Structure 1
Amino acid sequence: MPVGCGRHTARVVDRNGALVAQADVLTSVEWTRLLDDTSTASVVIQPERDCCEALSRVRSWRHDLQIFRDGQGVWEGPIVTPTWRLGAVEIQAVDVLGWLDRRVPHDDMVFPDTDLVHVAAALIRDGFAPHDPGHLVQILDESGIRGLRRYERDVGQTGDHLRALAETGLDYTAVGRRILLMGEDHCERVGTLTDADFPAGLEVSEDGASLATRWVLHGAEEGDIKGEAGGIDPYYGLLERVSEETSVLDNGSAAAGARSRLRGAFPAPTFIDTSSETTLSPDASVDVPSLVPGYCVDVTTTTTCRTIAQSLKVYGVKVTESGQGESVRVQLVPAGV
């Protein structure tokens, strides 16, 4: 179905599921989805009749914001900043991953020769274990990257540990209360787009700044952990990059992480450039709720000197609605990075 022009409603619910306030009169709405990080949403509500009294009871981290597009749930998460103004109430919220930025490891954990998605699932399970506001972990596929990981009780935020895993071959995102885990190569296709679907036009770019022929990844300082991938290329020569990931505890994991990073850097990434958000046409043949970070759309452009057809991974989604109507913007990156 096409993008169309959706209409939004919202409601505030208590942690126990009880309705706190229905927010049908919205003067603005913005919700996002994001790969490998916490997404945000905000609504501005025009209170009506007894709705004002109900909205006065909204509290940070106790209540959730739920957003619906044409009656279908598209976003949900804990409220972090309610603001009351004359004739308006603004509510800002983060998705379910936001809880993990307020949680720490509750036990010492060691993962020998374990795929990264199962490490991530265990971190999430531990983070929510003492007090779960409601979540579901869904593993779409494994990362194919295994290794030793160790976490200490009360050291570091769980959300930061997840982001560090994502830098070495894991992808994750939140859709409602579901946390999706997948490998970087996951590419479930949810649509096909062409130049006509991007009113502002498309660009084709070769990202020489990201090119590397050899990558070195240093792990934990103790033990001199190191992995590398690549070397001198007969066409490009030698371009080297070095990075550090202190949660990597063995040479095999470091080598896997180096290979993962090299995949996104060699050969010179050439892609349809939507690294900044670009607006989709209302006629674009893609279902907005299906625009999940980590999923892919096939994009073809023939309007530049370099014709290219490419599977692009959804990296970010931003949907806004105001008095001027709805805007659906997407950020796409080459699949497999």
Structure 2
Amino acid sequence: MGGVLGCAQEYRAVIHWRGGARPFTSPTVEALTSVRWNRTINDQAEAVVTIAKATALECCGPLGEVEPYVHELSIYRDSDLVWQGPIVRAVESRTAWRIEARDVTEWLARIINTQVLRFVSTDVTQPKHVGPVQEIADTIIRLNVNDPTWSTPPDWCRILPYIARDDAPTTTRFEKDGTTDTAIWLVPVLKVLDDELVPRGLEYTTVGRALILGRPQTATDRPQARLTLDDIAGDVELIKDGPSGAAIVWATNQVQDDISQAAWGVSGYTNTAYGRLDTLQLSQAENMSGYDLLQLAQASIVGRFPVPIGLSIPAGSRLTASAPVTIDQLVAGVRLDVEATGMCSEVTVAYRLTDVDVEWSASGEQVAVSLVPLGDDPDPPEGA
């Protein structure tokens, strides 16, 4: 996809009924005094819009009827939908309305898991079977959102048609509390993703209404765009960060006072230019097997070997309007390459985009990004 970031000519906010399809009210562009929205990886994105009451008289009544979780906020950058999710708070002052919303993962944060989490079967005809961690996350979401006992009607929040997956090539075995086949872990579905599936290689993010269940990008993935330092406003530092590097990652579930039942996994390289450069990842998750910890070690070495070259963007720095990347390409988790021209270290470094933070007001639009180095996804050492 070609194009440049550009600068938004206008922003619009539309309040929809839950599901994001049927409009409820839409204040005029002139009434919208500020907009703030973001995209992020493995966390909830948020949006806030401020509406001046003096120029929104035609929708003052409807704004007074806005209900959290009944209505959703949609944000349009020019004509493109860039953000959508349930309203969680509506605040009215004497002069303005402030509408606060979270992305569609908020629905998963408010759904308590009612499913037995036991994905150990190799029979692919069964709804719960071993497979890519993204498929397991998809299955857990669908079973809960469609649970006929509690979800009336099924998929009342209308997120299932908007799930997109980028499956990892590896297969994952997952169960929560293997001591029984009937125990149910009563926690929000989003906590299942955060505590159990993200450590196994899941990455999730949202774009508009889409919920993307993806995987960490590697050096074999195609970059969405190639930037230079001229595309980043403000001063920039390139840092070769030794303490963040590692040639070998060990992962274990041992605790200090009891190591008798500990398991471990290891991933990385030996005989490197760094010599012995280890790091240790401690997992507090329950029932982590050696296989689970191997997956954690494999995921944790991404970005650590070779020693990462970090890009430091001071607070307030942003992408320039001429940056050769469109707002649609700024999806948390994707690969962006940065060419460090004009520096003594003239290198091109691959990064993962972790956050996009956008602010718009009468003074214009600012698009800020957070980047972390992208590492190879190495094979585990023989015998691990």
TM-score for both structures, normalised by structure 2: 0.80
Match of 2:291 among 246, 252, 255: 252
What displacement does 1:68 show? 0.3
Aligned to 1:158: 189
- The answer to whether residue 199 in structure 2 is matched with residue 199 in structure 1 is no
Distance 1:142 1:188, change over 3 A: same
Aligned to 1:44: 50
What displacement does 1:279 show? 0.2
- The answer to whether residue 342 in structure 2 is matched with residue 325 in structure 1 is no
Look at both structures and tell me which one has the larger radius of gyration over its CA atoms: 2
Q: Select between 98-107 and 209-218 the one with higher mean Cα deviation.
A: 209-218
Aligned to 2:158: 134
* Secondary structure class of the residue paired with 1:254: helix
What displacement does 1:190 show? 2.4
What displacement does 1:273 show? 3.2
What displacement does 1:315 show? 0.9
Match of 1:23 among 10, 13, 27: 27
Question: Is the 1:231–1:238 Cα contact (8 Å) retained in structure 2?
Answer: no
Question: Is the 1:105–1:126 Cα contact (8 Å) retained in structure 2?
Answer: no
User: What is the aligned residue count?
Assistant: 337
Distance 1:223 1:117, change over 3 A: farther
Question: Is the 2:309–2:349 Cα contact (8 Å) retained in structure 1?
Answer: no
What displacement does 1:239 show? 2.8
Distance 1:89 1:5, change over 3 A: same
Distance 1:146 1:188 in 2: 25
- The answer to whether residue 209 in structure 2 is matched with residue 183 in structure 1 is no
Residue ranges of structure 1 left out of the alignment (5+ in a row)? none
What displacement does 1:72 show? 0.8
TM-score for both structures, normalised by structure 1: 0.91
Aligned to 1:14: 17
Aligned to 1:309: 348
Question: Is the 2:133–2:167 Cα contact (8 Å) retained in structure 1?
Answer: no
Distance 1:20 1:240 in 2: 53
Distance 2:375 2:277 in 1: 23
What displacement does 1:123 show? 2.3
Describe the superposition over 1:149-187 as per-residue Cα deviations: whole angstroms up to 9, x where unpaired: 337524222212212322332211111221111221364
Describe the superposition over 1:65-93 as per-residue Cα deviations: whole angstroms up to 9, x where unpaired: 00000111000000011100112100010
* Secondary structure class of the residue paired with 2:301: helix
Superposed, 1:1-337 pairs within 5 Å as 1-6=3-8, 7-15=10-18, 17-24=21-28, 25-47=31-53, 48-112=56-120, 113-130=130-147, 131=151, 132=155, 133-135=157-159, 136-142=162-168, 144=170, 146-150=172-176, 152-164=183-195, 165-185=197-217, 187-219=221-253, 224-230=262-268, 233=271, 235-246=274-285, 249-274=288-313, 278-336=317-375
Distance 1:74 1:162 in 2: 24
* Secondary structure class of the residue paired with 1:83: strand
What is the identity, as a one-letter code, of the residue corresponding to 2:24?
A: V
What displacement does 1:11 show? 0.9
Question: Is the 1:143–1:183 Cα contact (8 Å) retained in structure 2?
Answer: no
Which one has a larger percent strand, Structure 1 or Structure 2? 1
Question: Is the 1:20–1:55 Cα contact (8 Å) retained in structure 2?
Answer: no
Q: What is the RMSD of the two structures over their aligned residues, measured on CA atoms?
A: 2.4
What displacement does 1:267 show? 2.6
* Secondary structure class of the residue paired with 1:189: coil
Distance 1:312 1:298 in 2: 6
Distance 1:213 1:190 in 2: 28
Residue ranges of structure 2 left out of the alignment (5+ in a row)? 121-129, 178-182, 377-384
